[in-house]
Amino acid sequence: MPKLLARYFPIFDWGKEYSKDHLIADGTAALIVTIMLIPQSLAYALLAGLPPEVGLYASIAPLVLYAIFGTSRTLAVGPVAVVSLMTATATSMIAEPGTIGYIETAIALAMLSGVFLTVMGLFRLGFIANFLSHPVMTGFITASGILIAISQLKHILGVPMTGHNLPEQLVSLIEKIDEINTPTLLIGVGSILFLIFVRNGLRSLLIKVGLSKKIADLIVKAGPVFAVAITIILTSALALEGRNVDIVGLVPQGLPNLQTPNLNLSLIRELSTAALLISLVGFVESISVAQTLAAKRRQQISPNQELIALGMSNIGSSVSGGYPVTGGFARSVVNFDAGAQTPAAGGLTAVGIALATLYLTPLLYFLPKATLAATIIIAVLSLVKVKPIIETWQYSKGDFFAMALTIILTLLIGVEIGIVAGVVASFILFMYRTTVPHYAVVGQVSGTEHFRNVKRHKVITDPRVISVRIDESLYFSNIRYLENAINNLVAAHPECEHIILMCSAVNLIDTSALESLEAINDRLKETNIKLHLSEVKGPVSDRLAHTHFLQNLTGNVYLSQYEAYKALTAEKTAP
C-alpha cells in the first residue's frame, strides 16, 4: 500500500526525506522563480487573449498540484508561450476575445486538457506522444515562435491587429501601419532593447563591477521585473495613458474563487480536438524538459505519472480560474540552476504568486501592454531555430519534408492545422519506411567470420550462394517488398542454388510474414533453390518451431552466417 501510494502521490516518496536544508534550497529557488514568473504570467495571459490576472491564477494551483503528483524534482509548471498561442487560437474560434464567454471557454479548455492528460496517464498512454516526432515539434515550435512574435507587434506599435496566421496578421498590420502610437512604440522598442541588453550583456558588466556571479545571475533573471517597474513609473509620471498608451488597467486583487467550469456536450465537442493537441504538445514539451534536468542529477522521471501530474495541474488551473498550463523550459532551468531540490520549490513559488496576487496587483495599473509584449518577444526568440532545420535537411529529406510542411501550414493556415499536418506527414513517412525494409546482399570479409554489404566492402562471394541480411522485423506491411527483392535476386543470378536469410536483426515474424516465407520457400523449391536461415534469435526460433514452415524448409537453420556459408560453399567444392 505505501508503494502504491507513493506511485501515484510522489510527494510521499520525497516528502519523507525532506529536511531543513531542502527547505532553504527550495525557498531560495522559489524566490527567484517567483520574481521571474510574475511578469511572465501576465505576458502569457496577454498572449492568450486573457486578462492578466488569469495568468497569475494559472501559476498558483498548478504548481501546488504538480508538487503533489509530479515526479520531476525541478520542473516548474505554468503558462507557456506555445500553449498560450494554441489557447488563443482555439478559444477565439468559439467566443469573442475580451468577453466573459472567452474567459469561460479558456477555463473549460484547461479542464478538458486536464481530463485528457489524466486519463492518458491512468491508462499508461504516454507512448501516444511519440507520434509527435522531434522534427515536427521543432518545426511547430519554430513557426509558433514566429507567429507569437508577429502577433505582439500590435502592442509594440499600438495598433489593432487581427488574424490567426501570418498572412492575416501581416495584412492587418500593414492596413493600420499609419496609426502607430509613438509613445507606445518608444516603450515597446525600449523594453526590447533593455531586455536584450539584460540577457546578453548585463551579467558580465555586473561581474566586472565586483558583484558575485550568484547576485549577477539573480539580477539578470529579474530583468523583466525591472522593465515592468521602469515602464510603470514612466507611464504614470508622464500620464501616457492620456496619449493612448494601452495599459493593463485595474487587475482584481485577491485569490480566485474555486469553481468548476460549465462543460456541456456542445462545448466539449468544439474544444476536444484543441484540448487533445494542447495536451500532447504540452506533454512533449514538459517531459523533454523534465528528463533533461533529471538526467543531470541522475534522477528518474515516470512519463505516465507526469501525464497524471500535468492533468491534475490543468484541472487545478481550471478550477481556480486559469487556462491550460505545462512545464516551461525557461522557468524550469532557472528553478534547477537556483538549486531547487524537491517539487516543494514549486509549492513555495505558488505561495509567492498568491501573495503577489493579494497585495501587488494595484501596482500593475499603469503597466503598458507594450512592456509585456516585449517580454514575450524576447522569450520566444529562443524558440525560433534555423540550425536544426538546416541539419534536418542535410540528414534526412523525409524528416525535413514533415518539418517544412508543419512550419508552412502553421504560418499560412494556423497552429492546429500545422501540428496535425506534421503528425500525419510523420505517420505517412513512418508507414512508407516500414513497407521498405532495409536488406543487403552480404559477403565474407577475407580472413574473418564477418559478413558485410557487397556494395560497401570488398568481400568474398560465391555465385551459387546468395546471402541476404534482413535489417528489420518481418510483418504484413514489409514482407511483400522482401518477396520481390528475393525474386529479383534470383532472376539476376542464374547460377544461384542457395539463398541464406541472415536474421540477426529480425525480432519478430508475424503471421503474414510467415505465410510469405512459406510461399518464398515453395517458389524457390520449384527452381531447385534451397532456402536457409542463419542467426535466428531465440524468441523467433521458438515461435517458428511450432510451424509447418520449418518442417517444409528446403534448407537448414544455422547458428551463424559463417557456419552457413562455410557449409554450403564446402558442399559446392566437394568432389
Instruction: State the amino acid at position 116 in one-letter form.
Output: F
Strands 557-558 and 530-534: parallel
Q: Are 324 and 87 in contact (CB under 8 A)?
A: yes
Name the β-bridge partners of 469.
440, 502
- Following CA atoms 476, 477, 481, 484 in sequence, which dihedral angle do they give, to the nearest 10 degrees? 40
pLDDT of 483 > 70? The answer is yes
pLDDT of 296 > 60? The answer is yes
Query: Could you tell me the sign of the dihedral formed by the alpha carbons of 531, 534, 540, 541, in that order?
Result: positive
What phi and psi values does residue 123 have, to the nearest 5 degrees? -95, 10
Average pLDDT for 231-254:
93
Please tell me the predicted confidence (pLDDT) of residue 158: 93
Find where cell 497569475 sits.
Answer: 56
Please tell me the predicted confidence (pLDDT) of residue 218: 79
Average pLDDT for 52-81:
95
Name the β-bridge partners of 228.
none
Alpha helices in 415-505 (DSSP H): 415-435, 479-492
Contacts of the segment 332-337: beta carbons below 8 A, 24+ positions apart: 332/74, 332/75, 332/76, 332/289, 332/290, 332/293, 333/289, 333/293, 334/32, 334/33, 334/36, 334/76, 334/221, 335/29, 335/32, 335/33, 335/74, 335/75, 335/76, 336/74, 336/293, 336/296, 337/217
pLDDT of 574 > 60? The answer is no
Cell of 180: 502607430
Closest by CA position to 380, among listed 337, 335, 416, 328: 328
Among 50-64, 269-283, 285-299, which stretch is predicted with the lowest mean pLDDT? 285-299
Instruction: State the amino acid at position 127 in one-letter form.
Output: F
pLDDT of 4 > 80? The answer is no
pLDDT of 572 > 60? The answer is no
- Kindly report, residue by residue over 423-476, the tens digit of the pLDDT: 899 889 888 888 999 999 999 999 999 999 999 999 999 999 999 999 999 999
- Kindly report, residue by residue over 121-179, the tens digit of the pLDDT: 999 988 877 778 899 999 999 999 999 999 999 999 999 888 888 999 999 999 988 99
Q: Which residues of 67-80 are buried (b: 16+ CB within 10 A; e: fewer)?
A: bbbbbbbbbbbbbb
The CATH number given to 439-573 is: 3.30.750.24
What residues does CATH 3.30.750.24 cover in the chain? Answer: 439-573
Among 10-24, 398-412, 465-479, 480-494, which stretch is predicted with the lowest mean pLDDT? 10-24
Please tell me the predicted confidence (pLDDT) of residue 201: 87
pLDDT of 414 > 60? The answer is yes
- Kindly report, residue by residue over 319-350, the tens digit of the pLDDT: 999 999 999 988 898 899 888 999 999 999 99
542 CB contacts (<8 Å, ≥6 apart)? none
What is the distance, to the nearest Å, from the Cα of residue 10 to the centroid of all Cα atoms in its chain?
Answer: 23
Which is more confident, 75 or 1? 75
Q: Please count the CA atoms within 13 angstroms of the CA of 352 that sit on its side-chain side.
A: 22
Instruction: Tell me the residue ranges of DSSP E strands in 24-70.
Output: none
Please tell me the predicted confidence (pLDDT) of residue 409: 96
Cell of 394: 542535410
Closest by CA position to 402, among listed 424, 427, 425: 425
DSSP letter assigned to residue 198: I
- Kindly report, residue by residue over 535-552, the tens digit of the pLDDT: 999 999 999 998 999 999
What phi and psi values does residue 323 have, to the nearest 5 degrees? -125, 180
Confidence of residue 268 (pLDDT cuts 50, 70, 90): very high
Q: Which residues of 430-467 are buried (b: 16+ CB within 10 A; e: fewer)?
A: eeeeeeebebbbbbbeeeeeebbebeeeebebbeebbb
Q: Considering the chain, what is the average pLDDT of its residues?
A: 92
Longest Cα–Cα distance of the chain, Å, equals 107
- Kindly report, residue by residue over 360-375, the tens digit of the pLDDT: 999 999 999 999 999 9
Average pLDDT for 287-292:
91
171 CB contacts (<8 Å, ≥6 apart)? 163
Please tell me the predicted confidence (pLDDT) of residue 575: 46
